[in-house]
Amino acid sequence: MFDNEYIVSLKRFIRNVEIVSINNKLQAYDNVDIIYILEKREDEFVISLNERGVILEYCKIRNKELAQLYFAIFVKRGVTDFEFPLMTLINDIEDIEILKEYLTREQLDNFYSVDSRTKGKINFSSELDKIYYIDASDNEYNLFSPPNRIFQTFYVSIVKLKTMKEWLIQLNDANGLGDQYEATLLGYSSEGLSRSDLFVIKEK
């Protein structure tokens, strides 16, 4: 069901995970207690989690290419320990200009915008203390943050966006689905998929 080329690229992309293909199903083992599953069912693809024998259906996707891309990112994100080297410094910052200086040092300038509504970036409004992302279609997604964690949330969101873009390059996203569904891949939108009610409730 799944092309060998995709399976090989998936194994190359997620090196520390065992991936097994069984008929119409792909299973990725995190070597701890979770199995990530991509399964073809009739006219849709289903992504599920098997945690110690308890299977939870995460989402359904009709587009095969999107399902394969989403699954790759979903598993990679699940087994990746993100690093935030600036976090201890940011805890003591109260001025956005100082934060921008630190972000420049970490070469993050291309992934955020301050007081300038920019597509494909994590945006921050200093007037409203608001963090939001704008996709390629100009849809805006507000990112929740506790009032006392604004800069921390802003920084974390920037790092994750940068990482996502790097992953899409590694996956050689030639058909442009990464740009079209970037908000979905980041977890800000459900465009292109239908998510299980269980996970919708958890992520609100």
* pLDDT averaged per 10 residues, the chain (length 204): 88 91 91 91 94 92 95 94 93 93 96 96 96 95 94 97 94 80 93 75 38
CA–CA separation, 200 vs 141, rounded Å?
Answer: 16
Looking at residue 203, what is its pLDDT?
41
Q: Looking at residue 179, what is its pLDDT?
A: 86
CA separation for the pair 172, 36 (Å, rounded): 22
Place of tokens 């007037």: 127
Q: Which residue has the tokens 């070469």?
A: 107
Query: Is the separation of the CB atoms in 31 and 16 below 8 Å?
Result: yes
Q: Where are the alpha helices (DSSP H) in 18-86?
A: 64-79
Residue type, 200: V
In which residue are the tokens 């689905």 written?
Answer: 177
pTM, full prediction: 0.90
Chain centroid to CA 91: how far?
Answer: 24
Cβ proximity of 133 and 122 under 8 Å: yes
The one-letter amino acid at 183: A
| Residue 174 confidence (pLDDT) | 64
Nearest one of 67, 82, 77, 71 to 19, comparing CA atoms? 71
pLDDT at 200: 44
